[in-house]
């Protein structure tokens, strides 16, 4: 039975059908939207993580749908438990020739790790990516650059997990292994090369900014921030309370507004790499005050020093090992790493998955300890 107002309306206004139609349609639409929200959830629902004192705006608002979404690369991650170890088991260095790293592993665990590295780095090419298409008797050869690079990368991974636990294991055992950067690709995404100057029409400061580049995160900010801070030892952080500083910009160690822009360029890169904003590490009303930063600031500071060492000690020295196709297009430099190479938009790479739990061989430069 229809409601009384509807019957009265039809009696008094028999030709005016739009009023009740609009009302019924609006009510019906509202009911439908409410039902969808109840059943499917609020797609724009957010959650906040407070990173600093209340009232300072130091929070990280995130869409719940994005927070709960799984990193798609995790599905292809390969892992396997170690084989039991006994003192009588033959070691890899005793079984195979030219084993310069991982030689103290048992033969079974050595082969197990080699199979995993193949899945992490070269799932399509298989063992031939580092060892060529010859028989197993040719595996000792270092003719392929990929094998030489892989050996050094294993050493780098061990060093990261052992010497830089303050970054890669800040909250729990997480660590890194080959998959952290490679994600099933021969060459990791988000590597970078030197690219300044940005043209031959300008010199000085104009040659490093106001061009849309990957390094500047597609902004007009300087494109040499990664070169300055993650390859060289440039000091990060510019802040001055005076509007006019009595200093000479050309003097060494004099902080200029160019340094401020370059620092901001790096911070913008870090924010995009981790999917966070400034208040994840800083109290933005007091960037200068180290006493008002968050715990994440220390973790990130350690990470910056770690990446700088990776580039200086491990990646750049491989320049002469790589073929020309793997070198930078402008300067012919070796590929280098930065925050996004591992994080790829997440606060923790692979959303904090423990990638060394099954791989103690990659967690230390010494002999691994198996549980």
156 is in an annotated binding site: no
244 is in an annotated binding site: no
Given a contact cutoff of 8 angstroms between Cβ atoms, the answer to whether 17 and 245 are in contact is no
Q: Which helix (H) or strand (E) holds 61?
A: strand 59-63
What torsion, rounded to 10 degrees, do the Cα atoms 157, 163, 164, 166 define?
Answer: 140
Pull the structure tokens for residue 135: 């028989």
Instruction: Please state, in angstroms and rounded to a whole number, the distance separating the CA atoms of residues 166 and 310.
Output: 15
Instruction: Please state, in angstroms and rounded to a whole number, the distance separating the CA atoms of residues 150 and 306.
Output: 19
Burial 10-27 (b: 16+ CB within 10 A, else e): eeeeeeeeeebeeeeeee
Sequence-distant (6+) residues with CB within 8 A of 48 are 59, 60, 61, 62
Given a contact cutoff of 8 angstroms between Cβ atoms, the answer to whether 348 and 142 are in contact is no
239 is in an annotated binding site: no
130 is in an annotated binding site: yes
331 is in an annotated binding site: no
Binding-site residues: 114, 127, 130-131, 153, 167, 178, 181-182, 267, 278, 281-282, 339, 342-343
Binding-site residues for heme: 114, 127, 130-131, 153, 167, 178, 181-182, 267, 278, 281-282, 339, 342-343
């Amino acid at each position: 039975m229809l409601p009384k107002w509807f019957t009265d309306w039809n009696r008094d206004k028999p030709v005016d059908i739009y009023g009740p139609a609009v009302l019924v349609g609006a009510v019906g639409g509202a009911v439908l939207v409410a039902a969808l929200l109840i059943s499917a959830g609020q797609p724009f629902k957010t959650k906040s993580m407070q990173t600093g004192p209340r009232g300072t705006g130091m929070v990280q608002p995130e869409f719940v749908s994005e927070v709960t979404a799984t990193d798609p690369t995790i599905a292809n991650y390969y892992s396997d438990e170690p084989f039991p170890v006994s003192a009588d088991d033959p070691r890899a260095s005793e079984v195979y020739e030219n084993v310069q790293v991982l030689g103290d592993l048992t033969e079974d665990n050595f082969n197990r790790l080699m199979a995993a590295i193949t899945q992490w780095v070269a799932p399509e090419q298989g063992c031939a990516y580092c060892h060529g298409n010859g028989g197993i008797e040719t595996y000792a050869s270092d003719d392929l650059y990929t094998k030489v690079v892989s050996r050094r990368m294993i050493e780098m991974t061990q060093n990261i997990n052992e010497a830089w636990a303050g970054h890669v294991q800040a909250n729990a055992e997480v660590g890194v292994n080959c998959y952290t950067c490679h994600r099933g690709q021969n060459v990791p995404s988000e590597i970078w090369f030197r690219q300044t100057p940005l043209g031959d029409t300008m010199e000085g400061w104009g040659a490093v900014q106001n061009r849309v580049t990957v390094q500047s995160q597609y902004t007009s900010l300087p494109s040499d921030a990664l070169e300055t801070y993650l390859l060289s030892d440039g000091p990060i952080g510019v802040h001055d309370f005076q509007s006019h500083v009595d200093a000479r910009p050309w003097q060494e160690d004099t902080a200029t507004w160019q340094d401020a822009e370059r620092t901001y360029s790096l911070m913008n890169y870090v924010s995009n790499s981790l999917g966070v904003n400034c208040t994840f590490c800083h109290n933005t009303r007091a960037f200068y005050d180290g006493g008002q930063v968050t715990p994440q600031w220390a973790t990130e500071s350690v990470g910056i020093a770690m990446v700088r060492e990776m580039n200086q000690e491990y990646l750049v020295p491989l320049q002469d090992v790589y073929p020309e196709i793997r070198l930078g297009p402008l300067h012919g430099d070796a590929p280098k790493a930065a925050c996004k190479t591992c994080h790829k938009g997440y606060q923790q790479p692979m959303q904090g998955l423990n990638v060394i739990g099954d791989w103690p061989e990659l967690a230390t430069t010494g002999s691994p300890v198996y549980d």
